[in-house]
A and B are shown apart, each in its own frame.
Chain A
């Protein structure tokens, strides 16, 4: 089935589906259905926080079966039409057989292939960076250039902007159109400066709506990855269907996402893992997705490097990777900022857990939870990509040994994490030379990771 037919069918379902308000969906239908399914499959209270990476693959497979049922019973809610879009079992199973198991992005020597992985797969996953942290315009190119200097970073999402030529970039306004175009120019400049002209991009970071994407879109040669970030907890919207249609029709790859929240509508770690599996299963059918995303965050600290979130995210990844060829993207969301030891510790836990659980792709880092402007430097991306790739081939048991070593060092700080330092406080923004303090910390924490048993590949710059 062509992507156009697929999305047209989704659009029709949004017009004709069963009516349901967002409130009913969030507060009644989703929690009630997930609870019933958790009970039916004996999945309640299965989260074992002493093993943040699930070691029981039979349990992961049960989550898969339960997720399939959740996908069929729930479908997605379209928030614009307040209708539920559903899929029959036959349609869903057929679509899962058609899911692309790989795609290639980038040009020439910069080409990378995202391929389906399995838990403890020795094939390294793919890393794009950074994850849209706001920077001053003057810092955009230097920080993006610095990040791309490491060959461990396979593609670019770029930082994001909140001004355009010093004007405030007001969301959902024509300023976003300027931002889309401007961001594309800055990204290209960073790629040239870093000597990585052909690198793939995930577009567009500075615009929350379709405006920035549509405006910037013409600046990128297909295929790139188009970001279609849907509302949390099994919901979709028209903004992202606009992007999806344009992306497909012009030969780009579609990356959709709808996160789940521990403590939110999807309940605890088990309910959130279940909803993540269901979401990943549904995204290809409805959007023709190349990269499915349903990361899990913990609402109590708005990150996912604590025990419950690590467990939920890894078991959901294992369930999907063991039973399908769906290519997954999940965010590893650190809450501590640059130039703090906690950032490196969170990164070890989050990326080792993800890397050994079959995850194919991520965009990172999320220094400081992405909350603090200019709190992004090249080192966080270099370190995260090294841990992610270095974890390929490790067992779940080894991952738990590593994670249980680092987690106690920071988990009490998750709700009140250190903000860290900004880019100009950590690097000379003209020469891209790090401060002695941060360089020493970065190299020491690389050594620490190696001593824990993570074969950290060199960044090619300072290590």
Chain B
């Protein structure tokens, strides 16, 4: 059993999608607990990938490949789980807000979320507020993540939250914000549910947001 978990871990670490397809079939054929395969194999691979990123042995492209391999594993095994609940942590619609073309920080957060089992809908950069709402509705999102590296674009985040309130949609989504000029105090002031300075911190915040039905106090990440 340990052997297949190691192989899954390895395949996720190196983003080998074809190998994951085969290993997922092997898990199903041998009636191995899918949750174990995901936790002891996939999550282990992701942890190794995270360590490699910190040590400059893996970079953003490898992180994304690992995240996609993990998503594939989860999608393949979810129908065989005893519980009906998807193994995905939740759905996040993410984008850099209008007027801002910076994408690396947002991509890093999107990738880290995918790597950690979130279904991520990445809207790209220079995204207007209407698009965030449309995509969140269409994809039944749990969380909307807004990024801005420019103070002058960050205003759109505030307008977005105000608009959700006005349209009666605010309670439907958890909102996490981040980016260079965003301070936790400001995130609290505008009524965001979560804030994080780093991509790893954003994953923790999103996981925490998913546990809570109603957010009464903003969750601040690392």
With A134-B151, A373-B151 given, can you name 8 additional A-B contacts, CB distance below 8 Å? A170-B99, A208-B99, A208-B100, A263-B59, A264-B108, A265-B59, A299-B104, A302-B105
Contact of A170 with B59 in the complex, beta carbons under 8 Å: no
CB-CB under 8 A from A26, the residues of chain B are: 60-61, 107
CB-CB under 8 A from A264, the residues of chain B are: 59-60, 104, 108
CB-CB under 8 A from A171, the residues of chain B are: 98-100, 150, 152-153, 155-156
Question: Which residues in window 90-120 of B have CB below 8 A to A?
Answer: 98-105, 107-108
The answer to the question of A256 belonging to the interface, with a C-beta cut-off of 8 Å to chain B, is no
Contact of B156 with A170 in the complex, beta carbons under 8 Å: yes
Of B108, B156, B181, the contact of A134 (CB 8 Å cutoff):
B181
Interface residues of B (CB under 8 A from A): 53-54, 56, 59-61, 64-65, 98-105, 107-108, 124, 126, 150-153, 155-156, 180-181, 183, 198
CB-CB under 8 A from B98, the residues of chain A are: 171-172
CB-CB under 8 A from B105, the residues of chain A are: 302
CB-CB under 8 A from A237, the residues of chain B are: 101
The answer to the question of A97 belonging to the interface, with a C-beta cut-off of 8 Å to chain B, is no
The answer to the question of A28 belonging to the interface, with a C-beta cut-off of 8 Å to chain B, is yes
- Kindly provide the distance from the CB of A315 to the nearest chain B CB, expressed in whole angstroms: 16
Contact of B180 with A369 in the complex, beta carbons under 8 Å: yes
Contact of A162 with B180 in the complex, beta carbons under 8 Å: no
The answer for the CA separation of A168 and B98 in the assembled complex, in Å, is 14
Of B61, B150, B198, the contact of A265 (CB 8 Å cutoff):
B61
Of B99, B104, B124, the contact of A261 (CB 8 Å cutoff):
B104
CB-CB under 8 A from A169, the residues of chain B are: 152, 155
Contact of B56 with A262 in the complex, beta carbons under 8 Å: yes
CB-CB under 8 A from B54, the residues of chain A are: 300
Of A206, A239, A268, A299, the contact of B152 (CB 8 Å cutoff):
A206
Contact of B61 with A269 in the complex, beta carbons under 8 Å: no
Q: Residue on B with the closest CB to A308?
A: B56
The answer for the CA separation of A169 and B152 in the assembled complex, in Å, is 5
In the complex, the 10 A-B pairs of residues with the closest C-beta atoms, listed nearest first:
A171-B99, A172-B99, A171-B152, A162-B151, A171-B153, A27-B61, A168-B155, A31-B61, A268-B56, A169-B152
A interface SS class: loop
The answer to the question of A232 belonging to the interface, with a C-beta cut-off of 8 Å to chain B, is yes
Contact of A231 with B103 in the complex, beta carbons under 8 Å: yes
CB-CB under 8 A from A231, the residues of chain B are: 101-103
* A171-B99, A171-B100, A231-B103 known; A268 vs B180 contact (CB < 8 Å): no
CB-CB under 8 A from A31, the residues of chain B are: 59, 61
The answer for the CA separation of A179 and B151 in the assembled complex, in Å, is 13
For A171, A264, A370, the residue with the greatest tally of chain B CB atoms inside 10 Å of its CB is A171
Question: Which residues in window 351-375 of A have CB below 8 A to B?
Answer: 369-373
CB-CB under 8 A from A206, the residues of chain B are: 152
- Kindly provide the distance from the CB of B149 to the nearest chain A CB, expressed in whole angstroms: 9
For B102, B107, B152, B198, the residue with the greatest tally of chain A CB atoms inside 10 Å of its CB is B152
The answer for the CA separation of A162 and B99 in the assembled complex, in Å, is 13
The answer for the CA separation of A269 and B183 in the assembled complex, in Å, is 29
User: Can you pick out 16 interface pairs between chain A and chain B where the beta carbons lie within 8 Å of each other?
Assistant: A31-B59, A162-B152, A168-B152, A169-B155, A171-B99, A171-B155, A172-B99, A172-B153, A208-B150, A237-B101, A265-B61, A299-B104, A299-B108, A308-B56, A369-B180, A371-B180
